[in-house]
Every structure is written in C-alpha cells, then in structure tokens.
Amino acid sequence: MGIFDKGVQKTKQSFFEKLSRAVVGKSKVDDDTLDAIEEALVASDMGVDTTLKIIDNLEEKVERDKYMSFEELVGMLRSEIKALVDVPQKSGGASFDFSCKPFVIMVVGVNGVGKTTTIGKLASMFRAQGKKVVIGAADTFRAAAVDQLVIWAQRAGVDIVKQNMGSDPASVAFDTVKSAVAKDADVVLIDTAGRLHNRIDLMNELTKIRNVMRKVIPDAPHEVLLVLDGSTGQNAFQQAKEFSRATDVTSLAVTKLDGSAKGGVVIGIVDQFQIPIRFLGIGEGIDDLKPFDRDEFVESLFSIDDLKK
C-alpha cells in the first residue's frame, strides 16, 4: 500500500466512478470521453484553468490515435499530471537544507487548516531525525493556539518560546531565534496568526516578523511554509492567492486530504501558483504528515488496478 493511498482514497473513488462510466464499452476516445474526464477533474477541485490545460494536451494526443486502450488513456493522464506537479523546491531541494543553522521555517495559514498541528508534527519529525528544535508561539491572538503548541512541544520533546496573550508576534519571533542561536538549535518553527484580516495588515505583520528575525539571522526565514486544508477545495486556492501576495511563500503543506474527495486541489494549486508541496497530511496521527513524493502521489491517485474496477 502506497503512503498516500489513504489520503487520496475518496478523491480516487469519485474520479474513477465518473471516468469508468464515460469509457465503459468504448473502443476509442471521443468528445464525450474528454468531456467526462473534464467533469471528473473539475469535480476533484483541480480548478478550471488546470483542467483545461490537461484536456487541451490530451486532445492533441488523442487526435493522433483515437483508438487507444483505457490503460493508455489513464497512462497519458498520469503523465500529464506528473508534469504539472513537477515544480522545483525554492530552497533545499527535496529536503530542507540544514546547512543553514538554525534553519528557520515561518509557518503561515488561516485558522482551522491544521497549522498548529502541522507544526507539532514537524517538530516531532525533526526531533526523530536527531535535530534540536525550538518552536516560537507567535500566534499571540489565540490562547488555544499557544496551549496546543505547548502540548505538542512537550510531546515532541522540544523547546518552546511564548509570551503573554496579545503580545507582539514579532517580539515572540525575535526571542525565539535568539534563544535558538544561544541553544545551538538546528531548526526553528515559527507559528503565525491565522486571521484572514485584510491583506495589508497580513503583509505588514509577516514583514515585521521577518525583519525582526533578520536582526539575529540575516537570511531568516529560510522557508515560508503555507498550510492549506485540502478538504476546502476552492477556498484553498483563495488562501494560496492571498498569502502569496502577502509574503514569499516557498512551499506548501496540504492537510486533511484523507477526509475529502477534493484531492485534485493539490495539483491545481501547484500548477497555478508554481509553489512546490513539501508535506501532505493524511490523518490525525503524529506520523500522518508525510513528505510529498510526486510520483507516489500520482500513482496513488491513478493506479490502473483501481480504475479497472
């Protein structure tokens, strides 16, 4: 069983049902088949622009050989989607570049997407790799966020820096990176407020956090990780747009895929924003945040054995 099978199961079932109905009993790919593929892709929340790009490419190939097998059609679809999610990491290649020490990751995203939980899972993952981790609780507007981070820090066995509710988030970030340098930490994870206030406020707050961290570590943050809830479909697109305008998002973590039939949103967001995915959340467990593997994800989504059923 592939590591992403659980995460894409509902998307897969929904997509397969639509696709199977379209091609059953047919020996060639016609306009009805392409329409059905288009409908299935849109239903999985891949987004209209990305879907049309895939359909246009398929039309060109099908024009040359309409008499292709179901397996060939699926293989073609799989290749198209692999190409779309093949976006190079902006920093550190397939894994983080820990030669920068401490490596500072600023985590952004709206409330409710699983941002705090993602930070806790990342802390646990890095700790398991032998890294010394410090968390900065810079979402000072929600007591629940700080309390939750304290629990995660204890569970992961890592240090946390926090201040009183309502404190200046930038002040918490500054104290965190100073503490991390003093403790010779390897990784810093900075939580940020997830309020969808207006874009100017958001931009100013994130810029201020960035600037104060740079007083201690000139090139911080090394990564800006945007957490999105995959089950929200088109809302996730809107959030990606807002945060990309507010700050230089370098990578994505997409959560809650296991409970949704909208897994196509992963492909659409990567294609539309050209931001690579680093992690997928496929469950509630501490180990259910998985490093993203393009090939494994697409194979899980388009395994031919399932499509034949």
- Which residues have a Cβ under 8 Å from the Cβ of 31 and sit 6 or more positions away? none
* DSSP-assigned letters across all residues of 248-290: ---EEEEE-GGG-S-THHHHHHHHHH---EEEEE-SSSTT-EE
Q: In this structure, is residue 259 part of a structural domain?
A: yes
pLDDT band at 93 (very low <50, low <70, confident <90, very high): very low
Whether 116 and 260 map to the same domain: the answer is yes
Whether 211 and 83 map to the same domain: the answer is no
Structural domain containing residue 208: 103-293
CATH number for the domain that contains residue 43: 1.20.120
Whether 36 and 147 map to the same domain: the answer is no
Whether 304 and 266 map to the same domain: the answer is no
Task: State percent of the chain over pLDDT 90.
Answer: 41
Q: In this structure, is residue 205 part of a structural domain?
A: yes
Whether 154 and 276 map to the same domain: the answer is yes
Q: In this structure, is residue 216 part of a structural domain?
A: yes
pLDDT at 5 over 50: yes
At residue 24, the pLDDT reads 65
Whether 153 and 279 map to the same domain: the answer is yes
Whether 81 and 110 map to the same domain: the answer is no
Q: Using one digit for the tens of pLDDT, what is the confidence trace for 61-76? A: 887 776 667 778 778 8
Q: In this structure, is residue 95 part of a structural domain?
A: no
pLDDT at 307 over 80: no
Whether 158 and 68 map to the same domain: the answer is no
Span of 36-45, 50-59, 90-99, 126-135 with lowest mean pLDDT = 90-99
Q: How many domains does the structure of the chain reveal? A: 2
Strand partners, 280: 254, 290
**Region 159-183 average pLDDT:** 95
Whether 146 and 23 map to the same domain: the answer is no
**Region 43-47 average pLDDT:** 84
Whether 182 and 108 map to the same domain: the answer is yes
Span of 80-84, 122-126, 261-265, 303-307 with lowest mean pLDDT = 303-307
Q: Using one digit for the tens of pLDDT, what is the confidence trace for 202-240? A: 888 899 999 999 999 999 999 999 999 988 888 888 889
> Are 108 and 247 contacting, i.e. CB atoms less than 8 angstroms apart?
yes
Q: In this structure, is residue 283 part of a structural domain?
A: yes
> Are 45 and 229 contacting, i.e. CB atoms less than 8 angstroms apart?
no
CATH number for the domain that contains residue 235: 3.40.50.300
What the block records as the tokens of 160 is 């946390």
At residue 94, the pLDDT reads 44
Whether 285 and 304 map to the same domain: the answer is no
Whether 126 and 253 map to the same domain: the answer is yes
What the block records as the tokens of 306 is 């399932």
pTM of the prediction? 0.88
